């Protein structure tokens, strides 16, 4: 197993357009998977003038072969949240409903191991 603990992952980088839907396949941001990870700390970084985005956590279900949506939330300033991912093999974020002048959003993630 690759050591994904104490690593910093770029989940999304300088997104400027709304996502139309969830990705159809796992995006493979974690190699090999989130095995041994209980939660992830997610940093949402905004750019532009008065930016606002709706951010939806997505949890990959290898059984269903699809992303399962978490609760969407509106972000209007740089923000960090922690979410549980135990049982998932991938984590991604859908970004939509942008507003502001030239808004962009980047999302970074740090795995937190099972204790």
pLDDT tens for residues 8-23? 889 999 999 999 999 9
Asked if 42 contacts 109 with a C-beta cutoff of 8 angstroms, the reply is: yes
What's the rounded Cα separation, in Å, for the pair 2 and 21? 30
What's the rounded Cα separation, in Å, for the pair 8 and 5? 9
Whole-model pTM?
0.90
pLDDT of residue 3: 54
- Assigned CATH topology for domain 9-113: Jelly Rolls (2.60.120)
pLDDT-flagged residues of the chain (< 70): 1-6, 31-32
Query: Domain ranges in the chain?
Result: 9-113
């Amino acid at each position: 197993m690759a050591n994904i603990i104490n690593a910093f992952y770029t989940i999304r980088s300088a997104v400027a357009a709304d996502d139309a839907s969830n990705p159809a396949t796992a995006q493979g941001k974690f190699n090999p998977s989130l095995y041994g990870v209980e939660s992830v700390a997610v940093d949402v970084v905004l750019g532009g003038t008065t930016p606002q985005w709706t951010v939806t956590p997505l949890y990959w279900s290898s059984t269903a072969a699809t992303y399962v949506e978490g609760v969407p939330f509106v972000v209007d300033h740089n923000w960090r949240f922690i979410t549980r991912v135990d049982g998932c093999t991938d984590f991604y974020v859908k970004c939509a409903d942008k507003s502001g002048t030239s808004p962009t959003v980047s999302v970074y993630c740090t795995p937190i191991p099972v204790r």
